[in-house]
Amino acid sequence: MSWIVSLPCTRAEAEALSGEIPALDAAPEAPVVVTREIDEDAGTWQLDAYMDDAPGDDLLRLIQSLAPSAKGIAPTVAELPEEDWVTLSQQGLEPVRAGRFFVHTSSYADRVPPGATSFLIDASQAFGTGGHDTTAGCLAMLDRLARAGAAPRNIADIGTGTGLLAFAAMALWPRARVIASDIDPASIFVTRDNAAINDVPLGRGGGRLALAVAPGTDHPAIRHRAPYDLVIANILAGPLITLAPDIAAATAPGGRAILAGLIARQMDPVLAAYRAHGFRLSARGGSAEWPCLLLTKRRRYGYRRKERALHRASPSDASFGSW
């Protein structure tokens, strides 16, 4: 049998739980936490925590601490029948259409629109099913880049989660070399499983996906493959700012970075960190609350610079912003 603990929460609390939850990660047997909107008109949300065994008092207090707005409300604790808790937790996950991409769970495998590039990503312990605005924004930005004529040959997905964004990049640029990394080993296991489900070949050469467990870009394989034409980092604002010098060092002059996982009010400090390391903002996508940023690393020309201009910028470069 398995168990579910449910509590009402606010939208802000639900969004705060969309990334890593250190307090839960430190628990001996961490439950899987899913948040969902119960009533769009009323703006009511709910936190559901799934676990294998009946929760003790300490775990109940920990789960209650994730939703301060529910202080004084006793959580609902229920025993679930013998069903796959992953399937239960993903029942509310609707398919996502972002650009040419259609991301769905097993429940919608027979509803793929004609002509769409589809990925089957079931709920798991890793972030990135496509349902969150940050992931959908990155998918749309990748599609936008491809439609503008971009053709990166060397790509890194930092903080890959389920592997979805790396898979999308490989679908757009099938000859590119792509590496996906995550600080959480569980995410890399999930990515490996998802790669098999979606017929994504693993390996080191062009058209294959290499995997690495790494904090940020700190891995020999990531450093060896640098510099990258495209770096994707859908993580959180704090790590994005911390990683700015490392991502800048790993990005080729003229290369691009897609950054997401930040909320609107965090955009300015994130941009400031990357502008200090030679990036400019080329485009903004995503939603109003969860922006997705496309940055371009400035080329360095002239005397005592590492490179000189060999040609003028193409119209497609100009369409993605100005200096």
Beta bridge partners of residue 120, listed in sequence order = 104
- 129 marked as part of a ligand binding site: no
Name residue 117's amino acid.
T
Q: Alpha-carbon distance 68 to 71, whole Å?
A: 5
CB 223 within 8 A of CB 249: no
Q: Alpha-carbon distance 285 to 51, whole Å?
A: 36
- What are the counts of helices (DSSP H) followed by strands (DSSP E) for the chain? 12, 14
Q: Tell me the backbone φ, ψ of residue 161, rounded to 5 degrees.
A: 70, -105
Nearest to 158 by CA among 188, 129, 189: 188
Looking up tokens 């911390």 gives 242
Element (H, E) at 225: helix 220-225
- 135 marked as part of a ligand binding site: yes
**Strands (DSSP E) along 170-278, which ranges?**
177-182, 209-213, 228-234, 251-260
Annotated binding-site ranges? 135, 159, 182, 234
Annotated binding-site ranges for S-adenosyl-L-methionine? 135, 159, 182, 234
